[in-house]
Amino acid sequence: MTRAAIGLGEPVDVAELRWQWAQESVADNALSLHPSTEFVSQVASWMRSRTVWVARNKGLVAGMVCLTQHERMPSPNPQAAANWGYLGHLYVLPAARSQGIGRALVHMVLDEAVHRDYAKVVLTPSDLSVPLYRRCGFTNARTMMVWRP
């Protein structure tokens, strides 16, 4: 198991990881090798309302995860008024997988959620990620409903 260093992400690193992630699903390497300056700026703007951590393995970026806060409407019922977090964009480079980096990133989010006194952390897992999230203590909840135009 690799001991990755985890810290707050910089837009250039987060953009690079997002770019690599997209390359895994884009046919025929239709993307350039690295993100453009414009894309890095878009990521920087997106990051302003989120907390993004980056894992480094031997000094190189290896993975990321994002925590977005959902603020509930104030309520006289403390449980109804509690804030919660959304864990998203968990990604580890293929060469760095199965080394504990994804688990370490998830635990970084969970530790921060405890620090922020969140009532819960939710996520929308891929089929591939379900076993990892279960090992980190996540359980199934009621089915989410989605509307798409």
- Tens of each residue's pLDDT in the chain, 149 residues: 668 899 999 999 999 999 999 888 876 667 777 888 999 999 999 999 999 999 999 999 999 999 999 998 888 887 676 889 999 999 999 999 999 999 999 999 999 999 999 989 999 999 999 999 999 999 988 767 777 88
Give the neighbor-by-neighbor strand order of the sheet with 121-122: 5-8, 51-57, 60-70, 84-92, 121-122
User: What is the CATH number that goes with domain 5-135?
Assistant: 3.40.630.30
At 2, list the tokens: 């690799």
The CA-CA-CA angle for residues 75, 83, 11, to 5°, reads 145
CA 148 to chain centre: 23
**64 near 57, Cβ under 8 Å?**
no
For residue 4, the one-letter residue type is: A
DSSP alpha helix (H) spans, 1-149: 11-23, 37-47, 78-81, 101-115, 130-135
pTM: 0.89
**104 near 6, Cβ under 8 Å?**
yes
What are the residue boundaries of the structural domains of the chain, listed by start?
5-135
